[in-house]
Every structure is written in structure tokens, then in C-alpha cells.
Structure 1
Amino acid sequence: MPAPSLRLKRHKRTNKSWADGKQKQKKRPRKEGKINLEEDVAGDSQSLSMFEEDSVEEGSDNESDLQEQRTAGIVDADGDSDSEDILEASNTDQEQELDVKSQTVAKAPASRSSFHSHLEYKLPETEVEDLLKKKWKYQWDVPAFGMPNCKWVGTGECFLEVANMNSDCGLKQRLYKHWLDVCRTSGSNDFHSSPQRFFFSLCNSYRDILHCNKKPFYRKGLKEDSAIMDAYIMHCLNHIFRTRDLVTKNDSKVGKRWENAKDELLGGDEFLDHGFTRPKVLILLPFKSIANRAVNSLIKLTPGAYKVNVEHMSRFSNEFGNHDDEDNVNTNELTGSVKNSNSQKSSKPPDHQALFDGNVDDKFMIGIKFTRKSIKLFSDFYSSDLIVASPLALLKKIEEAKRDKEKDVDYLSSIEVLIIDHADVIAMQNWAFLTSVLEQLNCIPSKQHGTDIMRIRKWYLDGHARFYRQTIVLGCYANPDINASFNRQCVNYQGKVKLICQYKGVLPKVSDQVRQIYQRFDADSVAEADNARLDYFVQKVFPKIKDSDEGGVMLFISSYYEYVRLRNFLKSQNASLCLLGDYAEPRDVTRMRNWFRNGEKKIMLYTERFHFYRRYKIGGVRNLIVYSLPERKEFFPEVVNMLEGADDMTCTVLFSQFDQLQLERIVGTASARRMITSEKARPGHGHEIQWERSTLKELQQKTILRKFNNPGDLNYPSFLVVFTNNRVVRYTRELTNVGAAGSIYEVAVTGPQAVQVTVKPSKLAFKNVGDRLRYTVTFVARKGASLTDRSGFGAIVWRNAQHQVRSPVAFSWMQL
């Protein structure tokens, strides 16, 4: 489709514009020129600048603003003059990005800003076809700034290089100077080597970004979280103000040509600077409290010349602030943690308090409009430059538009920068809401909304806007849903950058008293994984639960879909069941917990989303089965440590080769790869993971992967006993009879003189072949014992006339 040409035609305008102001000065008679079909379409529309100062209904005085534009040298509140704005806009095309020399940042073309280079690129149809295939090849990697176990990987050519310490990062000069001042005021003396500087450089590349290891503010990561938020907000401001500068400059050129027009035909691409609608930036957040932080950061980072007045700030504080205490959040400068003034009254973990003690309303939308000297909060969405919303609120708007033809969400048609922050929290809410919103972005609008059609960029008209949209996804972890959206719904022609991390795991936070068994089942595909998991549970796990008289069995489930399937199966088996699922009524929760704790119900189904919102410590758990691994790694030790009982605490984890993302966050990346890629488990087989601490050279985490015949076949366990300030260490093991029926085994113990070792029972009598019996070993460091070495060895041996089972023991003394 050829680019539309612009034939100058004077027609009556219902609103004021820059050109109208010029006409008031000269009072020239209108001249009617020839028109073409495209002009007929545009003739009835409001051919307005998308960045006029204010519309009449917004209550501003346009003529006053126009008069100020015509008056040079008027000083703003921060001492800058209006003429500087005009000069800066006129020199947009001549701005140059300085060379980069000392730190890893994004490279921009020397002659043009990345903003212009990105939006003015003409996308060939061959590239469109390649993008639609959604196959991304990551070709380079660079160590991540400040994250030793992580690296950035990207598609296409590597755009990272060393930066000049005096570089303006690709920012407009006024934004750059103001950001420096803000950083100095906050005590940061090295802005050019700061995390926010680096992350802004990533954003300024206009590539899609997936940052899956951000430490959030509610987990003692306030400094890092705020730095990244400041960076992407500054990127949004830069995009909005560069867009305004371009439109303002073109308005000026068009106005001058109108004065001298004699049916003159202008070049096709020269004045194409509009989208279908005005909003260019969309920020999606999970809660109002986080939106409150984002908007306040946006106001803070906006230079004083652009925020002489912030309208409706009181309303914003009332709706988005904490109603209980306007100053409820205190920052611990030493730890970077956030705590609520009322947090001491709560028994919830600190991270839960920090996240949920604010305004947790998850249905909100607010439009923000920038005029020459003010910021307007709660502006109409079609006159806004930026929209801050929750996925739920946008989804409700989309559904309303589908039901009511008079309504629409066309303000989503021209989004060029999309920020999805705290994606992990949004995933806990419902990721499907967000995928529905992504599907609605950058669609051809259903109506014309007053935009001059002759100024719309060609790639909007071609339906290619989604290939120009930059999407930035931020969270503390990635899961299959987040990865799927990033790979399939983000198709930026510039390419992608994402963070790859190596995890150490969280097993050290799990009680030493808990025996952990990791059982792998195999699935043919991702689509079949859910069915394979349920089949494995039904055939291998449930029969043991059903045959046992013991209660206290908790089934932890990460998704609501799996929860429903498992609930339906257990009900069909008439299982003694209590449910704590995503939508459990508060009046039912206390009753269910009491039933389970008192043994009135044998099995409890417990979902990750319920734990995310409630963070209860469930009493009465004696046997934990992790049906599906949690997305949030911190939940694993929390749930496992709910187990009660000194001698018989077991956690069984089911996983498949498609659970690697969750598994590596729990057991560590290296161990997860071994578990996933090891020899295929035969029916009835699995893997056991035993967490140990090395004692001979240094204290470290070690994961042992061992194949076994069935989950109870633990004939050759090893013991690692570390004495710290606790003089008593206790382990429970299980022995399987591989000898004849009626076999009796007796125990013999060897070890250092400084340790007393007790085994109960000391004799195991098996009735049948394959029977399993458990025993408990207690290691006590003797008081006053002299130690020539800080480590030692021993063994526990079970034997009879035919067989002997030896378990080696390693001892280490730390701080005794």
C-alpha cells in the first residue's frame, strides 16, 4: 500500500490548533483546493494535533497557551524557558548518541536517536513472514550487570558495548539532566555505573525484554526494584516527549505550508507521525499500591518545566494510597526491606506483609496526560499519553466492549511501549487475563477517533503495529505461561533480550529432619504432562495413601486446573477430604484447618494461590506430597517445614521433564538438569534427592542423585552429621527386606568417641520379603569431649547371618 500523500486543503475546524492560532493573526481568506478520495475521508474528522495543549472539556485556556508559545523567553518554574522546549523539539532529528566506552549499555546509531530509528524503519514483507513464524534464535550473551550468576542473551546482533561515562544514554537533554539531579539528591554519586542507567540502556534499544530475576521490593529488594522502575519510567517519558516533539515540529511545518499553500502536494512520508489514537505507553501492574509507587516515580522523574501543576493529585492519593495510614510504608535503609507500621501485629512473613499491607485493589485504570506545563491524572483514555492499569480492569473493559457496540477499547490500538511489571504476582492472580489483553493490543480500531488520517504512519495502516511494539516483562521468576506470552505474543521486529540465570536452590532452608523423595514420571509432550501426572498419582501414589491408616496427608498443587482434577478424582474414591483451594470461603477455612489438624479429615488439598494470598501455617501435616512444584521457590521450604513429628516426616515430590523451570529454583540448576536428563525412569522407578553438607573442606550444599527400585528402597543411605550450636542431630531411615521371610537384623554402630549414637529400634524383624521398617538414629555430641580433629567418620551396620547393609556416617563440628 503506497504511503498516503498530503494535499493541503483548508476546512473549518471545530477545535483550536496551532494553525488556527496563526490564522487568527493574519485573518487570511480560505482557499479551496482540489481534494482526492483520501481527503474526503479526512474532511469530516478533526484534523488536530494529537498533542495540543488541552481540549476544551479539560478546562484549559488554549488561546492563553498559544499566546505563550508565541512569546519567546518566558521562564518556567524551574528556570528553563519555553524557547528551550521549542529549540529541543526542532533539533530532534539532529540529536546524536555519544560513543560508549566504559560500561555495558545499549548502543544507538550515531546520527539518529533509537526512537526515530525504531519507528521510521520500513518493515519488508519478508521480515513480517519471518516474525509470524515466532522462531527466535539467541545468538549472543553478555554477563548481567550486578548479577554474577546471570547473563543477558539476545537475538540478532549484539547491541551492547562499553559506554562513555558522560553519555546522555539516548535521553532528551532535559530528562537526562533532571535524572542526574534526582540521583544526586537521593545520594547516588555514580549514576553512570548504576543499575538504573544500565537497564535504561536496555530499554532504549527498543527490543523486547524479559527480566525474570528481579528482586522485588517486598523481599528486601526495594533498592533494585526502584532502580528498574525508575529506568523503565524514564524510558516511557523519553518516548512520550520525543513523540510530542516530533508531532509539534511537524505541526509547525504544516502550519507554515498552510499559510503559503496553493494546492501544494506534500511528500508522502514527511509528516507521518501519528498512530490511530493518542496513548502510546501502557503499564500493567497487579495492585493499586504498586501503581501508586509507579505514578509517584513518574511525577518525580518528570522535569519541573513539565509539572508546574499536577492535577487531581489528591484524588489519586485517596484512591490509590493506603486508606488506613497514608504514611504506612517505612524503608529500612540497611536491609532495603519495606515494612508496614502495623506489621508487628501480623503473624505473616515479612514479604507477605510488605506486599499486602498496601492497597491491594486489583481492578484499576488511570489515564495520564502531559501538556506543556502540567500532568493530568485521570484524563480521558483517548486524550492520555500513558495508561496505568491492571490486567483485570482492562479485561473488564474489553468484555464490556464486546457486549456493548457503543463502547470500544480502541485506545489500545496504538500502544508502542508496553511494560508488564511484577509479572510473577500477575501470574498468581490469573495470567489468562493478561494474555487476553495482549491479544487486544495493536488491533485496527473499530471507529475513527478524531485523528488526522493523513498523518498516520504507514505500518499502522498495514496492520503491522504489533511488530513495532516494545514489550518489557519484569518479574522474580519465569514460568511456562510467561515464556509462552513472551515468545508468541511479543513479535517486535527489533528482536529480544532475556535474562538467563543459574540457581543454587532452596534446599538449605528445608529442615534436616525431613526425608525428601523426588519421583519422576515421564510425559510424551507438554500437552500430555497433566494427564501423565494424574495417571502416575492414581497408579503409584494414591494406593499407598488409601491403604494407610495414617492421616495428615497434604497434597500441594500449583495450579487450579490440577486442583479441580485431583479433587474430582478423590471425591470419586470417597476419600476423607478437606479443601483449601483458590476460592475457599473464609468461613470454611477455619473449619477445614481444624478438621485436618484434629485428624477428622485424612487428606487436605492445598493450592499455591491460596498460600500466596493467605500464607497460613497448616497444623497436623505428617506426610506432604508435592503434586506439582510451586512457581515461587520460597514457598517450597515454607510448606515442607509445616511437617510435624520427630520420627516420620516425608516429603514426596512429583516432577516430569517439563518441570525444569520450577525444579531448578528448588534443587539448583545443575541438579535439576541431571534429574531431567537422566535415564528414563521405568514404571515404579524414581529418583531420590538427599540434601547434604560437605564437612571435610568447606560448608557447601550438595545434591545426590541416586536411582532406586521403588520409593522405599533405601538400603544404602549415608549420613552427614553437622554439630553447630545444636548438640543433637536426628535422622530417620527406612530399610527394605531383600532376604527371606522372617529375617531379623541387628544394628552395630561405630564412630568417634566424642559422639554418642543411639539407634531405635536396635532390632528389625521382617515378616515378609519386601517389607519396610523404619528406624531413627540420634547423634549427640558429648559435652566436654576433647576434639583433635573437627571431623570424623563412622558407620551404621544392619546385619544377620546372610546379609549386611552398611551406611557410612561423616561427622563435622562447627562452633561447638
Structure 2
Amino acid sequence: MTSLANLCYRSSGSESGESDEEEEPDIPEDLEDSDDEEEEDASGARPYLSLMRSLVEDAPRNAKRRKLDHSGTQETPPQQTQEDPPTGDEDSNANKDVDHVEEPEEAPEDAPVEDLFDDDDDLDASDPFESHFAAPDENVVSSRVKDIQKGQWQLNRTVQNTWRFFVNTPGTGPSDAGLPKPIDGPADLQLKKKLQDSVSDKWTSFGQVEKQLAPIIFNNLDTLFCERTTANATDIRRMACVHALNHVFKTRDRVIKDNARLAREHSDDLELRDQGFTRPKVLILLPTRQSCVKMVEMITAICAPDQQENRKRFDESYVDKEAKFGADKPADFRDLFEGNDDDMFRLGVKFTRKTIKYFAQFYNSDILIASPLGLRMAIGSEEEKEKKLDYDFLSSIELVIVDQADALLMQNWEHVEYIFEHLNLQPRDAHGCDFSRVRNWYLEDQAKYFRQTLIFSAFNTPELSELFRASCNNWAGKVRVQREYHGAMLQMLLGHKTKQTFSRFEAKSPLDDPDARFAYFSKAVLPTLTRNHGRDAHGTLVFIPSYLDFVRVRNYFANDPAVGNLSFGTISEYADVPEASRARSHFLNGRHKVLLYTERAHHFRRYNIKGVKRVIMYGLPDNPIFYEEIAGGYLRSSEQAMKLEPGQGSVRVMFSKYDVLKLERIVGSQRVGRMIHERGDTFEFL
């Protein structure tokens, strides 16, 4: 009998996580005391067991009791904004999660359930939400899922102006599938009625980027957009938030309508499939808390809620208005690191009819906003024996938004891969799920083929391409968007002549690339510095993208007699401020002839290094802006400060055929093919 009760089939047909728009689900068991078990047995979360006990014991059915004493706080009246619980030493309490608040149950409002949704929002078969998630064509889906499982995709390339679209559709043979039908403006989006009314007042027309992306995103295709900039960041964020809110509102609206229908008809033959295993439907991955603030502010600006519970706590934990950087820092650096740049956070956001609730329990939330590190720690790891892995809250995610993916690459990318590996897995616990309402494609373990993934990055990398290839299996298809590149090298040459030499070395495979790169560097590049007892090596900056390569080169400089006459300093992402300052000072005054500098150090600090006369790029940076700043900006500023003749500086770049994505952004789309495939291995630009 207990095992049947654990399935939680409800007479109302509603899932504890999705049953009513105003009624809170039960507090998860891991937050309950063991003394509450009897209360749980009498609660509505286990109605079958309660009913059987009432029949056996011939006792009246107990009314569901509110758990107001659990946290030791009083319930906040619905008309007021709930602020933070009593403050204290949160870190000293090991059982308290500072990213959540304990949620007492709320009484439903007096309004009948029919008043909680819009009667004008009738079901529309042309609505992408309906055709993709709610009522897809089973024959089409079945055929495409089989193609995806076999790895069969059709590719169609489309060029519009300077934008290149790579459209992948499940299937075989030549592809004639193109981009979805254009969407002219916000008025043409099929949004929830109340959301449409709110958006129309604030968003009157599409910009260039929105015109390109809207048909893809709002038709639920997986998207890898490789041209995110500080200029279009707000437009991308707004479009992503509107799409996420539309998905959440339509999902909840369908559940509420079906609840009302079940309450009216009382039919055993009525089968309504409108839910997933758990409530969270949208996951947003961001690099910093400041990025989270911008996303939350965009969400609140769009839906304009009457109340925001725990907003004060959110502002105290996430908002940092203190100015950290001056105008000398580039715009992309200030956009990422200005404000609270903490990369450890996770936030559950729950929507009710008039309220946005922050710090909701994950299983009670509609949208999860987190950094990869924060979410990875919430899931746990197999090494933590005292805490079991918990990733069931990711089982019903239907929309993933990865914004500023280029910044996430500079963190620990393994966390992102780990999260995607645990998306849409079958849950290990029921979590109050009403399986009679779960959509069939969830039960058939096909949720990953319905999930839409949106990735926004400033550029493409092998890591992003692999994630898009392996983890994005949307039956509707997927699209990669990037533009034709003119080349950061040309931009750098404007008004300043610098000799740039690109040297290609051969590597048999990506695994052989590090060894081949080091061999070429030590045998072909370093001898030019050691001539004349290293007198010509003064002012040489060696830029090294990978930390592993940095360690290898540093050890070589420290231990090999062949470079014993080259004094050197180092700046890596692990160097503290005093250590980096000493290295820069010694490099400027000539005490160190060579300075080894990593890409992540430049990403996180953007040091202004003076005294650079020569740049050797052990590998190209992923970010083309870095090439302009290091190969161009450092040389120009040093020439001006040291009053050298312009054009005396030089740049030497090492690359292999596996650097094609990086190389294209530096030399331009028109030149990259020739530099990769021609017999010659040296290319000079002046």
C-alpha cells in the first residue's frame, strides 16, 4: 500500500510541483524533521494512504495542516512582500542552504481557478509551443528521433548579408530545409496574452540581431549564436527572457486549465498529459552574479509583477554598485566584471499570478538561474559520501539558456559538460509527481529530444561545437549562426605597421598538437632569441593560451641549459597582484628579458604590460579582441613610451590546422583556407 501511495496519483490530477498557481508544494523531505512523518502521512501529498487509513480506522480524514512552525517564523500575509528570514550566522549552520528560503504553504486565493488564466488564450495548433511540446505530431517526432539516434543529420548552409546559418535537420540525403519563416516584430510573436500586452509596451520593433534570431528561437530550434557583443547583449538577453517567460506561463496555463477541466468533468476516461516529472522548466547558466542581476532585472521589466518576495535579500546578495574599474578597461571587460563578479551562485525563481519569488527551493521553482560551479555543487559529486547526488530537479528542463558562453570557457568548462550530462535523466525519486499527468515523451525517456538549448557566445570554439553536436539533439533541428570575419589582424594594422609572421607546424591529430607545438617552439622559435647571448631577446612577450602549455614552457625556461641566458618572468591566472606587479616591473626595466603570459590572466586582469618590443604567440587566443590588445596595443604603447620608431615591433604566431576557428577570426574568412592548406608554412603581413 505504501508503494502505491508513493506514486501519488491524485484525484484532482495535479502534480505537487505544478498543481495550483498559488498553492505551494510541500517542503522537500530533506528539509523536514523526522518528527513530521505522521504529518506527512495525513497530508494531501499522500492522499491514497490517507484515504485507506481513514477507511480502516473509520476516522474522519484529517485536514491538511500548514507547516508554519518548521522555520520558527510566522507566515507572511499574501498582500505583503515577504522579506528575508531572521538574520544570523548562516554559514555556521550546516543544514541551511543560503541559496534557498523555507517556504510555508500558502492558502489559495478566493478567486475560482478559472480566473487565474486568460479565456482568450485558446489552444492554437500553429503555436510553436503547442506543436513542439504540448501536441507534437507523433509520426514526425518518432521518425526524427530515430534519425538522431543513428546520427543522421541534414545540413543546409544559408548566407544572409554577412551572416552564415548552418541549419541541421534530422534525416538523410540532401537537405532543402531552410530557416523558419521570418518574424517581422514583437507583435508577430505568439506569446501568452498578458505577456504580449506587457511586451508590446516596451518592445516595439526588432533590431538586426533580433530579426536574425527570432525565427529560430521562437520556433524552438537549438541555437548556437557566435556573435554576442556588448552592443547586442541587451537585445539578446531580452529576447531570451521573453521566450523563457512565455514557455513558463504557457506551461502553467495549460496545467491550470486542465485542473479546472478535471474538476468540472470528473471523468475516469479523461487523460490529460501536461506536465513533466518536476516543476523547473527553464535553466539559465551565467558566469557571474552581476550577469544574474541583469537577467533578473530584464525578467521583472518584462512581466512587471505586483510583488517580489525576497527581493531585498537578492539585492543584498547579488547587487554591487561600487565602481571597480576606470575607463582604461575595455568595454567587454567592464561588462563582465563590473559589479558582483562572484562565480558561485544558484537561484530558484518561482512565478505565481502576481508575484515573483526569489530563492525558491529548486523543486518549487519555474526557472533556475545559476553559474556552472554553483549548480555543480548543488548536484554534488560521487566523492561526497555524506551527501548523495541530486539532479532530479533537472529532469524536466525544457529550455536551457547559456549566456556569455565565452566567459564560461574561461572558468571550468567541465562543470558545463557535467550539467548537460545530467539534464533530462529519469528521476530516481517521485518528488510528488502525478504520473497520470506526465507527458508520454517524458515517460519514454525522450525529453532530451524535446529540450531547446540556446547558447550565446562572442565566438565559436571546439568546446562549444562539441557541446552543440553531442548534447543538442532537438527533434526540430538546430542552427549555428556566425558571420564572415574580416580579420582582427587587419583592424590592428590600421594606422600602425607591424610585421606579423604566421608559422604553421604539422600535427597528426589534436592529441599530438601539444607535443608538436612545443617541439616547433623549442627548435624553430627559441633559437632566434638565444642568438648573440640573448641580447636581442629584451622585451619579448610570450603569450600562451593553455595553462598546461604554460607550465611546460615555464619549466623548460627554468631547467634547460639551451635557454639559460634568457632571464624570464611569469604571469598566469594563479599569480596574485603583488607577484604580477613584480613580474611586470622586472620586464619593463630589463631585469627579465622574456615574460610568459597566459590567456586567462589577460581575461581576468587585462594587465597593461609595458616594455613589449616583440610578441610571440605560442597559440592564438580564442578571443580576437585579445590579439588586437596584445599584438597591437602593447606594441604601440611601448613604442610611444620608449620613443621607438613605429613599426619596429614584430609578431610571431604559431598555428596548426586544428586552430582553424581561432585563425579565421584573426586573418579573416577569405584567407584562412589558403593558410591551412597551402604548401608553404610561413605567411607574412605588413
Same topology, TM > 0.5: yes
CA–CA distance in structure 1, aligned partners of residues 448 and 118 of structure 2: 31
Match of 1:65 in 2: 108
The residue type equivalent to 2:549 in the other structure is E
Matched, 1:526 2:517: no
Query: Displacement, 1:68?
Result: 1.2
Unaligned runs of 5+ in 1: 22-39, 47-53, 73-81, 98-107, 325-339, 692-816
Task: Report the alpha carbon displacement of residue 135 of structure 1 after superposing the two structures with TM.
Answer: 5.3
1:545 aligns with 2:529: yes
Deviations 1:219-269 (A, max 9, x none): xx1xx22111111111111110111111112222222344xx6xx3x35xx
Greater mean alpha carbon deviation, residues 127-136 or residues 382-391:
127-136
Which letter does structure 1 place at the counterpart of 2:517? R
Partners of 2:586 and 2:301 lie apart in 1 by: 52
Identity among equivalent pairs (%)? 31
Corresponding position: 1:170 with 2:190: yes
Q: SS of 2:272's equivalent? A: coil
In 2, Cα distance between the equivalents of 1:671 and 1:650? 20
Q: Residue 509 of structure 1 is aligned with which of 468, 492, 505?
A: 492
Match of 1:388 among 369, 373, 396: 369
Which amino acid in the other structure matches residue 151 of structure 1? R
Contact 1:419 1:471 survives alignment (8 Å): yes
2:454 pairs with one of 443, 466, 472: 472
Q: Aligned match of 1:116 in 134, 138, 150?
A: 134
Which residue of structure 2 aligns with residue 150 of structure 1? 163
Give the superposition deviation at 1:177: 1.9
Report the more deviating stretch, 174-183 or 564-573. 564-573
Distance verdict in 2 for CA 1:434–1:455, change over 3 Å: same
Given the alignment of the two structures, is residue 364 of structure 1 paired with residue 354 of structure 2, yes or no? no
Matched with 2:55 is none
Q: CA deviation at 1:613?
A: 1.2
Please state if 1:308 is matched with 2:310.
Answer: no
Distance of 1:513 and 1:520 partners within structure 2: 22
Pick closer, same or farther for the CA change 1:297–1:619 going to 2, 3 Å.
same
Partner of 2:652, secondary structure, is strand
Partner of residue 621, structure 1: 612
CA distance 1:608–1:254, change in 2 (3 Å): same
Deviation at 1:402, TM superposition (A): 5.6
The alignment partner of 2:283 has SS state of: strand
User: 1:425 is matched with which residue: 393, 401, 407?
Assistant: 407
1:229: which partner in 2?
A: 237
Q: After superposition, what is the alpha-carbon deviation per residue over 1:394-425, rounded to whole angstroms, capped at 9, x for unaligned?
A: 12223357624456232111111000001111
Residue identity matched to 1:279: P
Cα distance in 2, alignment partners of residues 567 and 232 from structure 1:
43
CA–CA distance in structure 1, aligned partners of residues 14 and 685 of structure 2: 80
Give, in angstroms, the shift of residue 458 of structure 1: 2.3
Relative to structure 1, the CA distance from residue 252 to residue 402 in structure 2 (aligned partners, 3 Å threshold; closer, same or farther) is farther
Distance (Å, rounded) in 2 between the aligned partners of 1:15 and 1:114: 22
TM-score between the two structures when normalised by the length of structure 1 = 0.66
Once the two structures are overlaid, the 10-residue window that deviates more, 524-533 or 485-494, is: 524-533
CA contact (8 A) 1:274 1:456 kept: yes
Are 1:487 and 2:469 counterparts? yes
Residue 249 in 1 paired to residue 266 in 2?
Answer: no
Deviation at residue 320 of structure 1 after TM alignment? 1.5
Q: Bigger CA drift: 396-405 or 656-665?
A: 396-405
C-alpha RMSD of the superposition = 3.5
1:200 paired to 2:195: no
| Shift of residue 114, structure 1, vs aligned partner | 4.7
CA distance in 2, matches of 1:177, 1:530: 55
The 1:248–1:554 alpha-carbon spacing in structure 2 relative to 1, beyond 3 Å, is same
Paired with 1:406 and 1:545, the residues of 2 have a C-alpha distance of 55
Distance 1:55 1:155 in 2: 51
DSSP 3-state at the match of 1:363: coil
| Secondary structure of 1:283 counterpart | strand
Give the Cα separation in 2 of the matches to 1:232 and 1:321: 21
Deviation at 1:41, TM superposition (A): 11
CA gap 1:255/1:211 in 2 versus in 1, 3 angstroms: same
Aligned counterparts, 1:344-743, within 5 A? 344=326, 347-400=328-381, 403=384, 404-406=386-388, 408-507=390-489, 508-510=491-493, 512-548=496-532, 549-550=534-535, 551-573=538-560, 575=563, 576-641=567-632, 642-643=634-635, 644=638, 646=644, 648-679=648-679, 681=680, 686-691=681-686
**Distance in 2, Cα, partners of 1:462 & 1:14:** 21
Look up the equivalent residue of 1:388 and give its one-letter code: I
Q: Please list, as runs of the form range in 1=range in 2, the aligned pairs for 1:268-347 lying within 5 A after superposition.
A: 270-302=271-303, 304=304, 307-324=305-322, 343-344=325-326, 347=328
How far apart in 2 are the matches of 1:619 and 1:525?
Answer: 37
Aligned partner letter, 2:528: K
Q: Does the residue aligned with 2:579 lie in a helix, a strand or coil? A: helix
Distance 1:637 1:192, change over 3 A: closer
Q: Which range moves more in the overlay, 422-431 or 234-243?
A: 422-431
Q: What is the CA deviation profile of residues 96-118 of structure 1, one whole-angstrom value per residue up to 9, with x for unaligned ones?
A: 55xxxxxxxxxx59xx5555345
Alpha-carbon separation, structure 2, partners of 1:489 and 1:152: 19
| Maintained 8 Å contact 2:15/2:433 | no
Distance 1:193 1:541 in 2: 47
CA distance in 2, matches of 1:285, 1:435: 14
- Any conservation in 2 of the 1:281–1:417 contact (CA below 8 Å)? yes
Question: Counterparts of 2:344 and 2:605 in 1: how far apart (Å)?
Answer: 20
Structure 2's unaligned 5+ residue stretches are 1-6, 24-44, 52-65, 79-104, 170-176
Q: What's the secondary structure of 1:358's corresponding residue?
A: coil
* Structure 1 residue 210 corresponds to structure 2 residue 224: yes
Q: Deviations over 1:34-69 (max 9, x none)?
A: xxxxxx9994699xxxxxxx9978867778534212
Separation in structure 1 between the aligned mates of residue 380 and residue 245 of structure 2, nearest angstrom? 30
- What is the total number of aligned residue pairs between the two structures? 588
Letter in 2 for 1:618: I
Report if the CA contact (8 A) 1:523-1:532 is conserved: yes
2: CA distance between counterparts of 1:252 and 1:623? Answer: 73
- Alpha-carbon distance in 1 for matches of 2:188, 2:665: 38
Q: Decide whether aligned partners of structure 1 residues 688 and 12 sit closer, same or farther in structure 2, where only a CA change above 3 A counts.
A: closer
Q: What CA distance in whole angstroms lies between the structure 2 residues aligned with 1:505 and 1:528?
A: 27
Q: Distance in 2 between matches of 1:357 and 1:20?
A: 37
User: 1:240 — aligned with what?
Assistant: 248
Higher gyration radius (CA): 1
Residues 315 and 535 of structure 1: is their aligned pair in 2 closer, same or farther, counting only changes over 3 Å?
Answer: same
- The TM-score with structure 2 as length reference comes to 0.78
CA distance in structure 2 between the partners assigned to 1:537 and 1:526 by the alignment: 17
Distance 1:45 1:135, change over 3 A: farther
1:380 partner amino acid = Q
**What's the CA shift for 1:611?**
0.6
Paired AA for residue 545 in structure 1: L
Give the stretch that moved more between structures: 465-474 or 448-457: 448-457
Question: Could you say which structure has the higher strand fraction?
Answer: 1
Alpha-carbon deviation of 1:485? 0.8
Deviation digits for residues 668-700 of structure 1 (CA, Å, limit 9, x no counterpart): 111122111212x4xxxx312214xxxxxxxxx
Deviation at 1:94, TM superposition (A): 3.8
Following superposition of structure 1 onto structure 2, how do residues 21-36 of structure 1 map, counting pairs within 5 Å? none
**Amino acid aligned to 1:630:** P
Query: CA 1:43 to 1:654, structure 2 compared with 1: closer, same or farther past 3 Å?
Result: farther
| Residue type at the aligned position of 1:667 | V
Q: Which amino acid aligns with 2:193?
A: Q
- Distance in 1, matches of 2:405 and 2:241, equals 16
The answer to whether the 8 A contact 1:19-1:255 is kept is no
